[in-house]
């Protein structure tokens, strides 16, 4: 099978050409259910397994997002679960942050060891926040989230009784996002009979700081913005996922431009490995599509637990490596 081993000249990676799309397919299937493209896990894979550690890896991750995300966005649009006001606030806030993130990565975090520590800290926060949410100890407006969970369980029971099957059909067709009001102060929308809202200004500044981290990391910000929307703003993951993915797509386009066009230090490669990024993206395109399609069959608690365990495990590994 040596003929399948390919050397990617930009990154210097030599691997089986089938490995990137297969890894991306599996990772993105599960992460996309939480509104995350999977780029935050693919970057550690590239660094630790493929030994791709230059700043170019961040740009390559952006290419993955650009290729992979449209299929998931299509599913959320088709099923009416795209919260447009949330999407636009996220995009407007994230874009300037990505520009700052580029400079931080190229000028202050070019060393792989230091960058891994940064990645570990970001991942640890995301994972702990998600796991904290499912303990039941997190405060505030849990009533609306509990109402959704109860409706989900009730519907699953109804379908099971009707079809005498163990397979539930998830969210009903009427569970769509309906915008109620949009202002500079607050955004309100309805989902499955419950009203949810968030501060426009607070979401904008969150997106701005997320853009800085995402631009540095090479993930577009979805991996951070989605858990934050669920854990801090108490928005249902069913309505956050589409907005987070579309926001990640837009910021990734800008990220690739920054890494490809803006000058870096002499001798430093920052432009993406287009072929490697495309191969990851091809697998992600399939994985995200099916992840978005099957999200409505999966309880929110399971999605949070799954993402939280994986993220915390990876974070602890990276942080420990820095001190060894």
Rounded to an integer, what distance in angstroms lies between the CA atom of residue 258 and that of residue 73? 24
Residue 105 is classified by DSSP as I
Between 149 and 314, whose confidence is greater? 314
Task: Inform me whether the pLDDT recorded for 154 exceeds 70.
Answer: no
The edge-to-edge listing of strands for the beta sheet with 194-199 is 177-182, 186-191, 194-199
- Of all residues in the chain, the percent with pLDDT exceeding 90 is 19
Q: What is the DSSP string of 66-103?
A: HHHHHHHHHHHHHTT---HHHHHHHHHHHHHHHHHHHH
Ranked by mean pLDDT, the top range of 109-113, 137-141, 207-211, 227-231 is: 207-211
- Answer for the pair 67, 224: CB distance below 8 angstroms, yes or no: no
Which string of b and e fits 56-65 if b means at least 16 CB within 10 Å? Answer: bbbbbbbbbb
Contact 37, 64 (CB under 8 A): yes
Instruction: Find the helix or strand (DSSP H, E) in which 8 lies.
Output: strand 5-8
CA-CA distance, 167 to 192, in Å (whole number)? 21
Distance between CA 238 and CA 242 in Å, rounded? 8
pLDDT band at 108 (very low <50, low <70, confident <90, very high): confident
Mean pLDDT of 242-261: 87
**Residue 112 predicted with pLDDT over 90:** no
Model confidence band, residue 165 (pLDDT cutoffs 50, 70, 90): very low
Q: Quick one: average pLDDT of 212-228?
A: 73
Model confidence at 183, pLDDT cuts 50, 70, 90, reads very high
pLDDT at 137: 59
DSSP secondary-structure letter at 219?
A: S
pLDDT tens string 127-151: 887 787 777 655 444 555 566 566 6
What are 59's two structure tokens? 């740009």
Share of residues in the chain with pLDDT > 70 (%) = 84
Eight-state DSSP code of residue 4: G
**Amino acid 220: pLDDT:** 67
Task: Kindly list the distances between the CA atom of residue 253 and the CA atoms of 79, 248, 273, in Å, as whole numbers in the listed order.
Answer: 25, 9, 15
Inter-axis angle of helices 274-294 and 237-261, to 10 degrees? Answer: 170
Q: Which residue has the higher pLDDT, 166 or 129?
A: 129
Least confident of 59-63, 212-216, 285-289, 297-301: 297-301
Both structure tokens of 189: 């929308």
The region that residue 83 occupies, defined by phi over 0 for left and psi between -120 and 50 for alpha, beta otherwise, is: beta
Residues 6 or more apart whose CB falls under 8 angstroms from that of 3 comprise none
Question: Which whole number is the average pLDDT over 40-46?
Answer: 84
Q: Is 201's pLDDT higher than 80?
A: yes
In the predicted model, is pLDDT for residue 168 greater than 60? no
pLDDT of residue 284: 94
Predicted pLDDT of residue 26: 92
Average pLDDT, the chain: 80
Q: How confident is the model at residue 21 (pLDDT cuts 50, 70, 90)?
A: very high
Tell me the per-residue pLDDT of 26-41, one tens digit each, with 9 for 90 and over.
999 988 877 677 887 8
Q: What is the pLDDT of residue 166?
A: 41
């Amino acid at each position: 099978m040596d003929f399948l081993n390919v050397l990617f000249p930009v990154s210097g990676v030599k691997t089986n050409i089938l490995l990137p799309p297969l890894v991306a397919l599996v990772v993105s299937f599960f992460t996309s259910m939480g509104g995350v493209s999977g780029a935050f896990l693919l970057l550690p894979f590239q660094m630790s397994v493929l030994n791709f550690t230059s700043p170019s890896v961040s740009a390559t991750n952006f290419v993955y997002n650009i290729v992979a995300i449209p299929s998931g966005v299509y599913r959320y649009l088709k099923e009416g679960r795209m919260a447009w006001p949330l999407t636009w606030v996220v995009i407007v806030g994230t874009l300037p942050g990505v520009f700052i993130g580029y400079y931080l990565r190229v000028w202050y975090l070019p060393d792989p060891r230091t960058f891994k520590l940064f990645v570990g800290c970001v991942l640890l926060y995301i994972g702990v926040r998600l796991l904290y949410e499912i303990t039941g100890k997190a405060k505030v407006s849990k009533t609306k989230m509990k109402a959704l969970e109860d409706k989900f369980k009730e519907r699953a029971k109804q379908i099971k009784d009707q079809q005498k099957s163990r397979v539930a059909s998830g969210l009903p067709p009427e569970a769509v996002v309906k915008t109620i009001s949009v202002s500079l102060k607050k955004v309100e929308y309805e989902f499955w009979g419950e009203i949810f809202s968030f501060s426009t200004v607070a979401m904008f500044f969150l997106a701005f700081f997320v853009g800085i981290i995402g631009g540095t990391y090479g993930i577009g910000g979805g991996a951070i913005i989605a858990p934050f929307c669920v854990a801090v703003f108490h928005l249902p993951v069913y309505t956050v996922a589409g907005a987070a993915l579309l926001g990640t797509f837009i910021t990734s386009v800008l990220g690739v431009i920054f890494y490809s066009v803006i000058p870096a230090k002499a001798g430093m490669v920052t432009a993406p490995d287009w072929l490697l990024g495309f191969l990851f993206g091809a697998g992600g395109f399939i994985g995200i599509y099916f992840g978005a399609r099957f999200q409505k069959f999966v309880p929110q608690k399971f999605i949070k637990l799954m993402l939280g365990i994986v993220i915390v495990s990876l974070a602890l590994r990276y942080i420990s490596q820095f001190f060894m």
